[in-house]
Structure 1
């Protein structure tokens, strides 16, 4: 059996598991059976994809498979190349660890019959999108993935906020699918050849290429979470069960990144330099807006969802750089930027899945997502707190963890911008670099808040004070991800060389071999430019911390000294005197909030002798929602009301409308061809 046939068989097994779950979802043994089967089949697909990537598919050519299903004259085409193998690795690694986590977490699920059938179906749908090699199979798989994830978002539909999240998600998903449908229609042209092989060798006029790029930003960008199409993401991700949230945020958004890379870098063929400007502007704006909104949040899972938007922005900035460099024939710089994007795709799947698992553990132990009702969990949940700290450091791009390496590579690509011939790019790219530096600094502040308010200090509620550590399977899944964050950070050369076949197939060039460099350093361009050694940074950090601890223990007083925590001179020992999520973000909110969120703060301070409590209120606005989506919703409602009379037409008028619509479509087809 070929690797491609094995992967298709794994997808079929996942879909079969979903059917089995439908038949036995209410059985008490369904949870371990479904999640165990999902773990096994995802594991087999992971090993197959990883082995295919390591075997060097470019030298043997991509493998293809055609099944007699789908459109009668087309069938269903599947293809495995290095780009698909990499994203299949990301998806199935996420599937394995989410299934492992769910074996423990799923025991606390109140309505497993609403989750179990759709979990393996969701995994199967994401795999099918990556394997699809024709537009019809791709779109069917895309919509199947969207519907399965929507069902998981609606699993707890008794909550009104979850119903709202599901409604907005399905609307945005349908809009994205429509945009992709039109994009593939333009790529297929009047001949209507929807096979990717035919699209790949066709010539696409500049106008068509520009329209396809815009449609891809709308279709794939809405699923990835690009601003201003991100509104569903902070609603849907927190609404889903935590292991599903990890898949949606850490994995499903990468399927959208894959769709963008596949179409723009592969199917469209020759790129033009100005398309990079569009992607750079959208990506950098998304990164800054996402992390600012994350800083304003007190809901832990919503904070993580907004943080995903920031990371998606960083990935698209790297893709925009790769597009601009490739269009100008700068192969090595384009390979560097593409490697940074792919490396961050992998890294984000690691630390964002880890953080959502940690948030799920906190939710299981306390029943709370509001950080202002937590605190002190480091004493009650020590393992969860440690792995969550690892994820927080990694996502804050601090060495020696993996987040630093991919962001460092992105900045190294930005430093190649002076060699670009277009002045627009020469001016724009450094400005984008400044925005990325700002978003990186804000991300560090954001996760200092997330970890500090949630795990440090004193418990703010009884639930936080009585929390217990979660089960071993959940801890194992989180610990594996924490270890991967460290390994990818201290041994990045292995990952970069592993990504070389992907960049070679997409860009036509690759970064220099990194594993041949002494001391496991990485040198993106040339040693005279810049280099980094994650292993030495890790060893130096470990040695310094150990030496400091030894000196303090050896020469400082051995007496155990305890004192109350410093409370700014206020004698009250209530946990309410601690920093909250809102108070932590107040300085940043006052700097950026007036411009970005139209924030208004009001203080009601009673006069001396008045027994009323003092009140402080913050009013913030989501300008994108209020200025873009609410007017659209109002216009749709108005149009629906005016067109309501169409329900009461006679049969003759209905037939007349059908006839006019047919004539109109024939005219469009005649003009197009």
Structure 2
């Protein structure tokens, strides 16, 4: 009996309850908050059970809902791939919903949260339905529901012009992508059942069809462009660093952590499940764009002073890392190397889960900092570890995880991606033998730059002394917020210590899509050792590494903290000068300066230093003014010309608006003449 898909359907239906109740109980905002986020938490927990059991069983379940258009019912499907993404969305939604109960307390005193709770629940329902959809119609409807709900969430503080601007940009990019996805499904549906029939709109009809290479390529390129726009792949990433910083932090955690992953789901579903057969250069396109996104994303992040904008650019980087795994899996599949394809695909989907956890944790941590300081600029922070020790420790877990350092989860998925790279010399194409080692080097560069970026983010935000001009009444996050972050941090640790167990659970996905799995080789030496293909090539033990690090930390603590007098505190000394104040610290700008000098040609950098003209003597200026502006070159190369052209066309078309009835009658007459001539 298909009880897992029924359970998932009930979980989606539960999210409609707060939407219906919100207008009734809107006057009691605290009650509305409690009901909405409690229902969202329970719904997420139910979805985790349904998704995780589906992946574990490896079974596929389907239901048909007779509520669509006439003769076009809605088809739902729950298989291991959709079950995995439901689990990822449900996990982070559970943590963020618990966190949100405390987070909205800081908003209640300022404004109504009715729209926030309504669109929060609709947003979750839209993401779940995208993953459950098994035909083009319900997929696109769910996709639009998800996009519209997230638009209104970004617009929550609509009195601010940056929110309106970011929401508009996001909606434009989202709809351009949606049009491309629609065209892709139109091509696949038309080839599946003939362009004169609607029966090809189901994914089952597309799975059963064999597509000519030219049409399959058109469908793939359209779908990849559409999903890449949602995922924030370079150069379609411009909406992401605009929308995430201005959205409420709980929404930013969901948008970055799981909404972007619905695009990854779409790419995998269309490529491996619907089209199935493809040439190697499709995978090369995905791999190259993944590498560009990974490197450019982390470089953009290093230039940022806004903590949430920094995290948003790191989403571009990590989406790139996921696409690297997907691209390698496509290349290996096209050369009939199923075991290596399974390894690369596992690396990609493992990083999908890992990124959801540590990026959700980091955005929740940034939200706690913003909640306490009302500040996003890292230059105005510092020393928060003394006032927010829980948030600092949990944010540090996220920093270590995203920097791919053991024993946390980011290390495992990036290590698996490197293993897929190192095994690629067996590919027969000379071009790929050149491209893939270069890709491995770029991935290593990305990892090093990510570590540097989060040394900057944590050090400038939490260490040292307060850098701001005005010191607010900083306070620690409340317990609901802490519990949400603790659960995410604990999950990051478990995913890093027990990867072999998780890969055994994930292995039904490559078995479904590729016909093979890696659990036999990956777990050949039990749950303690991960051996992706063969133990002679590479092996990793998360539990042993964790125990080793724990022993070193405990030994250092015993040596330094147990013996009295082992640690002595003295004034800060700097080349004989002891009177150091908080304005003499490294800040975010100075930290990123060497990297900006090396990679500055990739950005539009405007740096100015000006001495105050009121100086008494040129050797002793009264004030020194420093300004730095780093802009994305893609704005000038791609988007600014399109925007200017759009305004030019709008101005020309606007001249047709004469305000006189005679002119409108002439327009109507000319239209009729043209239709009669050409039709």
TM-score, normalising length: structure 1: 0.94
User: SS at the partner of 1:227?
Assistant: coil
Cα distance change of structure 1 residues 185 and 375 upon mapping to structure 2, 3 Å threshold: same
Alignment check: 8 A CA contact 1:366 1:463 kept = no
Summarize the alignment of residues 220-239 of structure 1 with structure 2, pairs less than 5 Å apart: 220-239=227-246
The answer for the alignment partner of 1:167 in structure 2 is 168
Cα distance change of structure 1 residues 465 and 641 upon mapping to structure 2, 3 Å threshold: closer
The answer for the alignment partner of 2:140 in structure 1 is 139
The answer for the alignment partner of 2:633 in structure 1 is 623
Tell me which stretches of 4 or more aligned residues in structure 1 moved more than 6 Å: 658-664
Alignment check: 8 A CA contact 2:58 2:79 kept = no
Alignment check: 8 A CA contact 2:560 2:567 kept = no
TM-superposed CA distance for 1:461, in Å, is 3.1
TM-superposed CA distance for 1:462, in Å, is 7.1
Cα distance change of structure 1 residues 355 and 568 upon mapping to structure 2, 3 Å threshold: farther
- Distance in 2 of aligned mates of 1:460 and 1:194: 58
Please identify, of 102-111 and 331-340, the stretch whose mean Cα deviation from structure 2 is larger.
102-111
Alignment check: 8 A CA contact 1:380 1:465 kept = no
- Distance in 2 of aligned mates of 1:653 and 1:391: 61
Cα offsets for 1:372-414 (capped at 9, x unmatched): 1111111111111001000000000001110000000000001
User: SS at the partner of 2:294?
Assistant: helix
Cα distance change of structure 1 residues 147 and 563 upon mapping to structure 2, 3 Å threshold: same
Please identify, of 346-355 and 633-642, the stretch whose mean Cα deviation from structure 2 is larger.
633-642
The answer for the alignment partner of 1:53 in structure 2 is 55
TM-superposed CA distance for 1:626, in Å, is 1.3
- Distance in 1 of aligned mates of 2:340 and 2:673: 55
Q: Is 1:527 aligned to residue 535 of structure 2?
A: yes
- Distance in 2 of aligned mates of 1:655 and 1:471: 68
TM-superposed CA distance for 1:641, in Å, is 2.2
Selected match of 1:644 from 645, 654, 660: 654
Cα offsets for 1:13-72 (capped at 9, x unmatched): 212322322443342311111111111112112112112222231xxxx11111112221
TM-score, normalising length: structure 2: 0.93
Cα offsets for 1:138-159 (capped at 9, x unmatched): 0010000000000000001111
Selected match of 2:466 from 437, 459, 464: 459
Please identify, of 7-16 and 262-271, the stretch whose mean Cα deviation from structure 2 is larger.
7-16
Alignment check: 8 A CA contact 1:350 1:481 kept = yes
TM-superposed CA distance for 1:129, in Å, is 0.3
Cα distance change of structure 1 residues 508 and 658 upon mapping to structure 2, 3 Å threshold: farther
Cα distance change of structure 1 residues 296 and 201 upon mapping to structure 2, 3 Å threshold: same
TM-superposed CA distance for 1:602, in Å, is 3.3
Summarize the alignment of residues 215-614 of structure 1 with structure 2, pairs less than 5 Å apart: 215-461=222-468, 466-513=473-520, 514-518=522-526, 520-553=528-561, 558=565, 561-567=568-574, 570-593=577-600, 595-605=601-611, 608-609=618-619, 611-614=621-624
TM-superposed CA distance for 1:663, in Å, is 10
Q: Is 1:41 aligned to residue 49 of structure 2?
A: no
The answer for the alignment partner of 1:632 in structure 2 is 642
Cα offsets for 1:122-147 (capped at 9, x unmatched): 00000000011110110010000000
Summarize the alignment of residues 111-130 of structure 1 with structure 2, pairs less than 5 Å apart: 111=111, 112-130=113-131
The answer for the alignment partner of 1:670 in structure 2 is none
Alignment check: 8 A CA contact 2:233 2:293 kept = yes
Cα distance change of structure 1 residues 533 and 300 upon mapping to structure 2, 3 Å threshold: same
Q: What root-mean-square deviation, in Å, do the aligned CA atoms of Structure 1 and Structure 2 show?
A: 2.0
Alignment check: 8 A CA contact 2:213 2:278 kept = no
Cα distance change of structure 1 residues 162 and 447 upon mapping to structure 2, 3 Å threshold: same
- Distance in 2 of aligned mates of 1:114 and 1:658: 46
Cα offsets for 1:181-211 (capped at 9, x unmatched): 1111111111442110111111212111222
User: SS at the partner of 2:75?
Assistant: strand
Between the two proteins, the alignment pairs up a number of residues equal to 659
Segments of structure 1 that go 5 or more residues without pairing to the other structure are 667-673
Segments of structure 2 that go 5 or more residues without pairing to the other structure are none
Q: Is 1:106 aligned to residue 108 of structure 2?
A: no
Cα distance change of structure 1 residues 663 and 138 upon mapping to structure 2, 3 Å threshold: farther
The answer for the alignment partner of 2:152 in structure 1 is 151
- Distance in 1 of aligned mates of 2:598 and 2:114: 47
User: SS at the partner of 1:460?
Assistant: coil
The answer for the alignment partner of 2:84 in structure 1 is 86
Cα distance change of structure 1 residues 46 and 22 upon mapping to structure 2, 3 Å threshold: farther
TM-superposed CA distance for 1:515, in Å, is 4.3
- Distance in 1 of aligned mates of 2:673 and 2:508: 53
Alignment check: 8 A CA contact 2:291 2:439 kept = yes
Cα distance change of structure 1 residues 373 and 437 upon mapping to structure 2, 3 Å threshold: same
